[in-house]
Amino acid sequence: MPKNNMWRQRRVVVPKRTIELIALVAISSTLFLFLHTRELHSRLRKMEVRLQPAEDELFSGKQLFSEGVQTESTQSGNDHYSSLQHVREKYEEADLLDVDGLNNTKEAERLVLFFNRVPKVGSQTFMELLRRLSMRNGFSFNRDRVQKVETIRLIPIEQLQLARVVSSFPEPSVYVKHVCFTNFTKFNLPKPIYINVVRDPIERVISWYYYVRAPWYYVERKQIFPDLPLPDPNWLKKDFETCVLKEDRECHYLEGEIHEGIGDHRRQTLFFCGHSEKCTPFNTVGALERAKLAVEKHYAVVGVLEDVNTTLTVLENYIPRFFRGATQVYHDQTNAFTSINRNFFKPSVSEEVKDIVRRNFTREIEFYQFCKQRLYRQLRALKLTNTDFTMNNRL
């Protein structure tokens, strides 16, 4: 008991005013936090409204029309659009988008368009579109001749020769060729306007697999090159699913592997990475980063086959000298364009097999998504400025 009394006597007595002060500080802090939170909530709501496309952005407009977002066909035959949430997720915060900063057209030193087309991305369709636009918009259309063996990676002297050929065309001109990205400035030659198109890498590799097995493919090539040997019938009959499931050498996609030659177009990144040997190993970080850098630094537009409408809208606004009227020309003759190079001998491939292939295409898929994101950012920037983008009277 004496000990308990001693502790009671030692209790510190807090003055009444101090208690009131502490209570006042606590109330003030609570009120401040409430007001600050409410302000933040209000600002976030405003930002959300800004990012959400309005109806007039999604529907109609002569060039920046709603079809800039890929449509699907319903049972009734009418087009319908993705949800607003899905559209909003495609775009970055509005303040970060700048039309001028997203277009490299202004960096071109000559009015020459260089389309170093990737195989099996609808490049034949875009090539035919350019040919028709050349008559409408008044520019020269040029393409590489068909070759017995297509060489896409060139040694330095061949790169120089290519750059000289492209630079020799009168302005305005277009040149189309299957070849890796070639840096003209490295050879002290004027920089052209670079464009290209990409495709889902799994669908692309499947398309190539059956393209080189199509009967008409060898008939056409045999007519051009009579001495071309015919392939093994067993190889022609081999289907993609069996090739993957049996881990056939042709369908065994290993990271870091280097495999050249016809039948191996697995590396979409190679057409952007360049001619360096560092670009050849399949599905590697180094090749991926080099390809991304080339797109950001050099390419005016990289379209996406799965979203032709957005691709045409961006091309028409970022490179109007060549693509003015592209949307109208394409949609006026949709059937003619969509039937170009279509392979009716390609069977469907199960999602299970596609998933197996996807496991080894991680960086190729990342590059495809990177190009897709950039295209949608370019489209979004156009809609935010609400104006047709023209680099200058010359372009």
178 classed as catalytic:
yes
Active-site choice (178, 265, 275, 298):
178
Angle between helices 362-385 and 285-298 (to 10 degrees): 20
Cα(106)–Cα(365) distance, integer angstroms: 29
Q: Which residues are tagged catalytic?
A: 178
